[in-house]
Amino acid sequence: MGGDTLNEDKRIDMTRAILVTGGAGYVGSHTVAYLLENMGNDLEIVVVDNLINSYRSKPGQKKPESLRIIEDMTGKTIHFYNCDIRDVQAMHRVFQNHLIECVIHFAALKAVGESVTKPLEYYQANVSGTCTLFEVMRDHGVHKLVYSSSCTVYGEPQRLPLDETHPTGAGLTNPYGRSKYFCEEIMKDLCASDKKWSVISLRYFNPVGAHPSGRIGEDPRGTPNNLMPYIAQVAVGRLEELQVFGSDYPTVDGTGVRDYVHVQDLAEGHAGALACFNKTEFTGFHAINLGTGTGYSVLQMVAAFEAASGKRVPWRVAARRAGDVAVNYADASLAARTLGWRARRTLADMCADTWRWQSTHPHGYAT
Ligand code: NAD
Ligand code: UD1
């Protein structure tokens, strides 16, 4: 559908804006903070988030806690819309109210286990919602997009490290992973249909860590599914012990190996992607890995976290988790060549920054 558009005269006076969907969430909030900390005043940040997975503001506060803290940290304003990306009318209003130049699209549901029991909700939010966003972008003449993809699109690795030419889509074991893969295929079709589109799909490996201030971080609802927040909650005393899912993988110590990447490095990767939109070679669809290129086992992660926090993290071996691969790590050289991006933070940084956030916010934003 076509939305009303502002006439050119009105637009001339407007400040250029970046729309960040899902900007109140974990990766989104760190990216928003990074952009506000590093960009000039000639750009504004507009966030759309339905707050389904972010901490709601206290009564009387309009903005989610993560964004309120970022405004406090940076002294800058974030334009916030509490709305769902599937709400076409509301999305049109956002594009009418701001001179959006490009979109960073984080908004999605991301709990792998839940996606198995609620596939329709996941395809609705992640695939249908993404199509709705693209329609609204097209109607407003906005064709630049950075998409939050995942190394999960590679499925079971056929070779390591995983580079961007590795096949995608085969052997995906859950609707969440498939929704990321489907969105990439949709974006390829979109770029093939109209040369105006420039899409950079960033395939994150395992995001961990927190802002070095310790004021924003990952705040999972309920018991964490992912390793790092689970370890952090054991260290802070919220959970009793870590269950190590499998100790008989063909790895250094039998436990699963992953490429953990600091969320601040990811934020820099998004800024690098935005900078590419000025280059003509960045039209069309580009998938780019964001990882460190180094894998660590579960027990190496436990040891690193104990060293950073000075706390013991009790663990015991449990059965393998269904759908888990043994080893996963990135070839991150394309990001270096094209975005000029390299993960700079070490495993010790990832653990220290997670601990600074977790120890000062044992119950996340609700602390
Ligand atoms: P998150 O849940 O913390 O953030 C997502 C945000 O999107 C939340 O604030 C949520 O309220 C919002 N949202 C969800 N559905 C929405 C909708 N329909 N309309 C508007 N807002 C909506 O997740 P995250 O870890 O920050 O992940 C961000 C993106 O990165 C997601 O697309 C995710 O699939 C992708 N990703 C994450 C990881 C990871 O481990 N964190 C790894 C690879 C890829
Ligand atoms: C998971 C998701 C993947 C998603 C990624 C995002 C699954 C099957 N996959 O992958 O789709 O893109 O997160 O970062 O959920 N582990 C434990 N005990 C725990 C938790 C995890 O031993 O309590 C182990 C896992 O077996 C794995 C490693 O820690 O070897 C990392 O697990 P996790 O953080 O869940 O990430 P992924 O498995 O890579």
Residue 7: the pLDDT is 45
Residue 4 in any domain: the answer is no
- Residue 176 CA to residue 117 CA, distance in Å, equals 11
- Residue 329 CA to residue 222 CA, distance in Å, equals 28
Q: Which residue's CA is the closest to the ligand 2 atom numbered 14?
A: 206
Residue 6: the pLDDT is 43
Residue 6 in any domain: the answer is no
Q: What is the CATH number of the domain that holds 263?
A: 3.40.50.720
CB under 6 Å to ligand 2: residues?
112, 150, 152, 176-177, 206, 225-227, 230, 242-245, 256, 258, 298, 321, 323-324
Residue 147 in any domain: the answer is yes
Q: Which atom of ligand 1 is nearest to the CA of 129?
A: 18
Residue 203: the pLDDT is 98
- Residue 244 CA to residue 247 CA, distance in Å, equals 7
Print pLDDT tens along the chain (367 aa): 333 344 444 555 678 999 999 999 999 999 999 999 998 888 899 999 999 998 876 777 889 999 999 999 999 999 999 999 999 999 999 999 999 999 999 999 999 999 999 999 999 999 999 999 999 999 999 999 999 999 999 999 999 999 999 999 998 989 999 999 999 999 999 999 999 999 999 999 999 999 999 999 999 988 999 999 999 999 999 999 999 999 999 999 999 999 999 999 999 999 999 999 988 778 999 999 999 999 999 999 999 999 999 999 999 999 999 889 999 999 999 999 999 999 999 999 999 999 999 999 999 998 8
Which distant-in-sequence residues (6+ apart) come within 8 Å of 357 by Cβ? 210, 211, 214, 215, 216, 217, 218
Residue 5 in any domain: the answer is no
The number of domains in the chain is: 1
Residue 55 in any domain: the answer is yes
Q: Which of 123, 176, 249, 365 is catalytic?
A: 176
- Residue 284 CA to residue 145 CA, distance in Å, equals 10
Out of 148, 173, 247, 258, give the residue to mutate to test ligand 2, the one with the largest number of ligand atoms within 8 Å of its CB.
258
230 is catalytic: no
- Residue 325 CA to residue 159 CA, distance in Å, equals 12
Question: Residue 302's CB: how many other CB atoms inside 10 A?
Answer: 23
Q: Which residue's CA is the closest to the ligand 2 atom numbered 31?
A: 227
Which distant-in-sequence residues (6+ apart) come within 8 Å of 352 by Cβ? 308
User: What are 168's two structure tokens?
Assistant: 């995608």
- Ramachandran angles phi, psi of 199, nearest 5°: -125, 125
Q: In which domain, by residue range, is 282 found?
A: 16-366
Q: Which residue's CA is the closest to the ligand 2 atom numbered 3?
A: 152
Residue 282: the pLDDT is 81
Residue type, 161: P
3-state secondary structure 234-296: HHCCCCCCEEEECCCCCCCCCCCEECEEEHHHHHHHHHHHHHHCCCHHHCEEEEEEECCCCCE
User: What are 161's two structure tokens?
Assistant: 């490290």
